[in-house]
Amino acid sequence: MSTSITPESRDNAQRDSGSRRSPKADQAHGADAKPNKTQVRLGDRVFLGLSRGAGITLLVIMAGIAVFLVVKALDALGDNNGNFLTDSTWVTDGSKPAFGVAGLVGGTVISAGIAMLIAVPVAVGVALFITHYAPRRVAQTLGYIVDLLAAVPSVVFGLWGLVFLSPKLLGLHTWLSDYLGWIPIFDKDETGTTARTLFTCGIILAIMVLPIIAAVTREVFLQVPRAHEEAALALGATRWEMIRTAVLPFGKPGIISASMLGLGRALGETIAVAMVLSSSQEFTYKILDPGGNTIAANIANQFAESNDLGRGALIASGLVLFVLTLLVNGAARVVINRHKEFSGANA
């Protein structure tokens, strides 16, 4: 008995065989439908190229700055009759020039350290108040003021510190010397009528870097997962306990980054320090006595009046500041990487 195959039965058989196709065949068919990974869109290629070019450009600029500082400083260092790293004298126009950055580095580190000791706790407190305590309208207004303070020019802070703040701090200098003079840094030898000291300079720098640290820290606290905060509160924690257990551990790398950003500005600040500080080349650890100097302020004060050798010496001191800033940022990066896994950011 013969069976005839009609066109309709043939079409039905093909549909049945297609419906009974194995999963492997479906996966292969789906893989064929996906675009090839090597086929990248034009926009992605352009963005990748721009990003890579921006990174390479930044590295080239940093390398160019370093090369410029080294080349310009070598001639001056060759003519130096003193020890550049350990001497505190700065004589570049005599028959035997001798200059060193020991006093300048000491003044830079001390003034920046005072600024960070004052600014970091206050900035973290301001950021916590804005993000977790203040009403929304107050938080928005205060956040706007903090951002506005970060844009104030350095010369404004310098004039304010010289004309207004420095005379007001003379009484504080006397009080610290009378009651804390047994601590070496608060021992005051000169009983002058000026408060243009490293302590005053540190306060001015603290006011300048506080808005930067507060603004960055505020944005970090706003990124804390809401689930972490609600979980701490649900377990019976008070608001401060919630901040201590959920917010601060998460934001620790951000706080360190913000602090290093502020420290970078404190180390390199020029105009405000040059206007407030009664500069001298000798190193002093007594922050209540007039004197001391920083690398940036010394460059600003002497560059216009220096000869070729003096300018080379100033550029050499700028190289020291450049290396110091790189070391600080490198140390901050190491600390951030060590604390990142404990921050809860990957939870």
Residue 271, in any domain of the structure: yes
Domain count for the chain, please give it.
1
Residue 95, in any domain of the structure: yes
pLDDT of residue 339: 62
Secondary structure of residue 75 in the 3-state scheme = helix
pLDDT of residue 124: 95
pLDDT of residue 337: 77
Residue 256, in any domain of the structure: yes
pLDDT of residue 2: 46
CATH number for the domain harbouring residue 166: 1.10.3720.10
Q: How many residues does the chain have?
A: 347
Residue 110, in any domain of the structure: yes
Q: Output the DSSP codes for 197-215.
A: BHHHHHHHHHHHHHHHHHH
pLDDT of residue 342: 46
CB 117 within 8 A of CB 203: no
pLDDT of residue 1: 44
pLDDT of residue 40: 64
Residue 4, in any domain of the structure: no
Helix or strand holding residue 90 (H, E): strand 90-91
Q: Please report how the helices 308-340 and 42-78 are oriented relative to each other, as an axis angle in degrees rounded to 10.
A: 130
Average pLDDT score over the chain: 83
pLDDT of residue 148: 87
Q: What angle do CA 85, 86, 92 make, to 5 degrees?
A: 70
In sequence order, the 6+-apart residues with CB closer than 8 A to the CB of 300 are 270, 271, 274
Residues of the chain with pLDDT under 50: 1-4, 18-19, 24-25, 28-33, 37, 342-347
Write out the residue range of the structural domain in which residue 328 sits: 76-340
Residue 111, in any domain of the structure: yes
Secondary structure of residue 37 in the 3-state scheme = coil
pTM: 0.81
3-state SS, 166-178, equals HHHCHHHHHHHHH
Q: For the stretch 7-31, what's the b/e string if a residue is b when 16 or more beta carbons lie within 10 angstroms of its beta carbon?
A: eeeeeeeeeeeeeeeeeeeeeeeee
Residue 300, in any domain of the structure: yes
The rounded distance, in Å, linking the Cα atoms of 96 and 82 is 9
Reported as a single tens digit per residue, the pLDDT across 183-222 is 888 888 776 667 888 999 999 999 999 999 999 999 999 9
Residue 19, in any domain of the structure: no
pLDDT of residue 214: 93
Reported as a single tens digit per residue, the pLDDT across 254-311 is 898 899 889 988 998 888 888 888 777 777 788 888 888 889 888 888 888 888 888 8
